[in-house]
């Protein structure tokens, strides 16, 4: 099974594809989708959707896992991230992917067993879980892979 994890964002959205065969997880690919601040708002959203669909076509994941919006400090940023989540969900729906959503707390608990884990702790555990030599950079890509791992663990309990 291939799971595409998404850390939604407006300027930068992290993505990561993880393979699950029985109880073994392996990294396939990861990165970030970025839009330029000088682009018109609708064009940024359209670029995010287009680039995400390219990733879906290239890797043919079996499911999409995405982080839910949990809280916000800046209303404008929260609205932009919510809009990018909408575009991501629509792209996944267009590609007939089952969608699984996880809160940041669920991801932290699944990856580190500690709901208040910081970014470094999550990155180190993702590296350990996937047997990688280095942590995934940038943070957004590492978060996306953590979301995919959370989904794999969640689905593993159902199968």
Active site residues: 7, 67, 140
Q: Which of 110, 123, 97, 105 is nearest to 2 (CA)?
A: 97
| Neighbour-count burial for 49-65, b at 16+ CB within 10 Å, e otherwise | bebbeebbeebebebbb
Find out whether 16 and 145 touch, Cβ atoms under 8 Å: yes
Report d(CA 56, CA 19) in Å as an integer: 14
């Amino acid at each position: 099974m291939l799971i595409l994890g998404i850390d939604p964002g407006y300027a930068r959205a992290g993505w990561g594809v993880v393979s699950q065969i029985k109880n073994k997880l392996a990294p396939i690919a990861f990165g970030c989708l970025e839009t330029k601040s000088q682009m018109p708002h609708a064009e940024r959203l359209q670029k995010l959707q287009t680039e995400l669909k390219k990733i879906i076509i290239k890797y043919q994941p079996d499911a999409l896992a995405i982080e839910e919006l949990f809280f916000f400090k800046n209303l404008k940023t929260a609205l932009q991230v919510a809009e990018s989540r909408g575009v991501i969900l629509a792209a996944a729906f267009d590609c007939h992917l089952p969608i699984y959503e996880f809160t940041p707390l669920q991801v932290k608990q699944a990856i580190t067993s500690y709901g208040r884990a910081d970014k470094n702790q999550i990155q180190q555990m993702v590296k350990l879980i996937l047997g990688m030599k280095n942590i995934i950079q940038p943070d957004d890509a590492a978060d996306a892979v953590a979301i995919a791992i959370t989904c794999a663990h969640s689905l593993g309990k159902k199968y």
